[in-house]
Amino acid sequence: MPTSIVWFRNDLRLADNPALTAGARRGPIVPVYILDQETEGLRARGGASRWWLHQSLTALDLSLRRYGSRLVLRQGKAEQVLPALASEYSASAIYWNRAYDQGSVEQERRLQQLLTHRGVSTESFKGNFLFEPWEVKTSADAPFKVFTPFWRACRALPPPPLALPAPQQLSSPANDLADDTLASWQLLPNAPDWAGGLRETWTPGEAGATERLSTFLDGALARYRQERDAPAGATTSRLSPHLAFGEISPRQIWHAALAAGDGAAVEKFLSELGWREFSCNLLFHSGDLAQRNFRPEFDAFPWREDSGALKAWQQGRTGFPIIDAGMRELWATGWMHNRVRMIVASFLTKDLLIDWRAGERWFWDTLVDADPANNPVNWQWVAGCGADAAPYFRIFNPVLQAKKIDPRGDYVRRWIPELAALPEDTVHQPWKAGPSVAVAYPTPIVDHASARARALDAFHGLKKARPDRSDPA
């Protein structure tokens, strides 16, 4: 029987994996993952993502071995590795699920041309999103730039098909050639080993993703709309890293959520999948959003260089408890509650006037769910330079926001234990605790009122410099 190669990318699962299903139907398969750190346009993973990748590949290999197969590991450019692998295994077809960042799209195009020229057939699939970026367009056949009409257009399309089951069996070719070992890739930190909190928090892999979805649907989904902004409790799905690595598909989540209930809570949860789709759509049509302002007028924005303030923000010692709690949660677990992400991003870009790209790079390195679309799109949204961006005058007050989403201070006390003894009326403003209360906690690095005024002046200056433009917001 003919041998096929199934190229795993950000789709590290067996169920609802169209590329795997197609290869398995055809005959023996060679499942391969390629660590490509050489191809121009492909962004190298950050430290937290590398940790997760190690765990996820380990889980995928174990799953494949239960089916009598195994995961082949190779390092290098896919354009070189895949043709060589096809020759080694006498494979006549290669299957993969599509990616939509510019580097991946261009790489796939080169691969298809190269492999076809060598007599190897290729086929790619929609495996990681509900809709293709080219499926959702405005009436003028243009990409959407605002989320609400985008999502309305998505909901008007036929619903996503049911998820595919995992193949019932997998057949491997007879020859078993040598390949890389996962340990040789050195994805795990060791000097120092900073991943203890990640290990305590997460169970990477397809089984972990399935369990996390089930736990969410059985518990927090019914309260999701009302409680999702509260960072202290288990109010969100925390599926984002599993989605980022494709350990679960959005189709699986979509249909499981609809089967679990209906109403406003489910619709709100599905709309969060919609924002992921919107971000992918923007990335596909706009190119490199991690470096380039979506709104070019922001190229003239007067960002400040302040390495001390940036470091204080990164280390969670700005003197604003909700900011510091979020940044410490991020460092410890590789994740941060979405509402808190918005607050810390607003603080960096508007209170400190530090370029959003510095924050995006830090999140890229420290988030286990770092995603080439979501990460820059969300940062640009908060900074005001992105699509459907937050209005420039929306500058979060970190104290008022903290009181709103963490009224009792439970979240702050968890991540800033030096404030644990403070009462509710001062836990978010420890500088008001009085001289009789000794708190080993930094004073605020900026006065929010003054910083807000400075930010508004900068935004107004940008508008005056471009009188022919509409508001940056």
Structural domain including 429 reads: 296-465
Question: Considering the domain boundaries, does residue 50 fall inside one?
Answer: yes
Dump pLDDT digits (tens) for 105-124: 999 999 999 999 999 999 99
User: Is 186 a domain residue?
Assistant: no
How far is C-alpha 473 from the chain's CA centre?
24
pLDDT tens for 183-207 read 999 999 998 999 999 999 999 999 9
As given in the structure block, the two tokens for residue 310 are: 């940036």
Classify residue 180: in a domain, yes or no.
no
pLDDT at 428: 97
Task: Tell whether 367 and 413 lie within a shared domain.
Answer: yes
Residue 247 lies in a domain: yes
Same domain, 301 and 444: yes
Half-sphere exposure of 399 (CA within 13 A, CB side): 15
Q: Could you tell me which of 357, 383, 358 has the C-alpha nearest to residue 307? A: 358
Whether 247 and 278 map to the same domain: the answer is yes
| Burial annotation 181-211 (CB, 10 A radius, 16+ → b, else e) | ebeebebeeeeeebbeebeebbebbbebbbe
The one-letter amino acid at 300? A
For position 12, which CATH number holds? Answer: 3.40.50.620
The residues assigned a catalytic role are: 272, 275, 303, 338, 356, 379
Position 472 scores a pLDDT of: 31
Residue type, 402: A
- Domains of the chain: total: 3
Measure the CA–CA gap between 428 and 340, rounded to whole angstroms. 14
Could you tell me the strand order of the sheet in which 3-8 lies? Answer: 72-75, 29-35, 3-8, 91-97, 121-125
Q: Which residue has the tokens 């679309």?
A: 373
Phi-psi region for residue 295, left (φ > 0), alpha (ψ -120 to 50) or beta?
beta
Pair (407, 282) in one structural domain:
no
pTM for the full model?
A: 0.95
Q: Could you tell me the maximum CA-CA distance found in the chain, to the nearest angstrom? A: 80
pLDDT over 60 (residue 68): yes
In-domain check, residue 291 = no
| Strand pairing category for 91-97 and 121-125 | parallel
Q: Among 128, 151, 174, which residue terminates a domain?
A: 128
CA distance 420 to 412: 8
Token readout for 176 is 């078993």
| Rounded CA separation 382/79 (Å) | 37
In terms of domains, do 311 and 321 share one?
yes
Q: Count other Cβ atoms within 10 Å, centred on residue 380.
A: 28
Mean pLDDT of the chain: 94
> Of the residues 107, 128, 149, which one is the last residue of a structural domain?
128
Query: What average pLDDT does range 352-370 have in this prediction?
Result: 98
Asked, for residue 332, whether it belongs to a domain, the answer is yes
Nearest residue to 428 (alpha-carbon basis) of 455, 397, 452: 397
Mean pLDDT of 281-297: 94
DSSP state of 473: -
> Among the three residues 128, 152, 185, which one is the final residue of a domain in this structure?
128
Return the percentage of the chain with pLDDT > 90, whole number: 88
Same domain, 262 and 397: no
| Residue 317 within any structural domain of the chain | yes
Task: Tell me, yes or no, whether 185 lies in a domain.
Answer: no
For the stretch 323-341, pLDDT in tens is 999 999 999 999 999 999 9
